[in-house]
Structure 1
Amino acid sequence: METWEFEAELWPWKEETDAWIFVTAPPEVTEDIREASIAVGPPRGFGSVRVEARIGTTVWRTSVFPGQDGYALPIKKDVRRREGLEVDDRAVITITLI
């Protein structure tokens, strides 16, 4: 399995809600994910790719979604609460294709 680690800033999908918060993988990680996901199989809905993500001690399974600036990883509210993260904070993220 392919694994990447990067640091990124948390950003909201829409300004008026904290329900959907994301980080964006940097360009080099996005390209690596794109290439590696071909071997895993066809993309899922919306071009998403299944991953296992980790921030601090919190691990969860989700998908990354292609966007204009790179793959976006949703950061669940429970994860943000456990790791003490808010919008505009930076976090170190590890993602592994599954």
Structure 2
Amino acid sequence: MELSFTGRVIEWRGPSPYYFVAVPDEETADIREVAAMATYGWGVIPVEARIGATVFTTSLFPKAGSYLLPLKNAVRKPEGLAEGDDVGVEITVRL
């Protein structure tokens, strides 16, 4: 399953600061349709993602009925992304 969306970069200020892009409601609904086939535990969904020229593998985290796409510094810094930026994202859910 391939999806494209635009989301805002948010910072989670837990014990270890991390950045995410929230998956919009429409795409979340699409992911829920295949979640049982894709998850490998705890509701996380493995994906390949592209932001700008950077392609990376990660897993979507379930959060409050939606999903968050984690942004490692190895992705965020080369693409010049900071908290509050809107970013175009392409993901492929790995089934």
Per the alignment, residue 55 of structure 2 pairs with 59
Structure 2 gaps of 5+ residues are none
**Worse overlay, 7-16 or 64-73:** 7-16
Residues in 2 aligned to 1:3 and 1:63: alpha-carbon distance in whole angstroms? 14
Identical columns (%): 39
Deviation at 1:45, TM superposition (A): 3.2
Of 74, 77, 88, the residue aligned with 1:78 is: 74
Per the alignment, residue 6 of structure 1 pairs with 5
SS in 2 for 1:45: coil
By percentage of residues, which structure has more strand? 2
Structure 1 gaps of 5+ residues are none
The answer to whether structure 1 residue 50 and structure 2 residue 46 are counterparts is yes
Residues in 2 aligned to 1:96 and 1:90: alpha-carbon distance in whole angstroms? 20
Q: What are the Cα deviations for residues 19-55 of structure 1, in whole angstroms up to 9, with x where unaligned? A: 41001111110010110233x34x2232101000110
Residues in 2 aligned to 1:79 and 1:30: alpha-carbon distance in whole angstroms? 22
Per the alignment, residue 20 of structure 1 pairs with 18
Q: Normalising by structure 1, what TM-score? A: 0.87
Q: Normalising by structure 2, what TM-score? A: 0.89
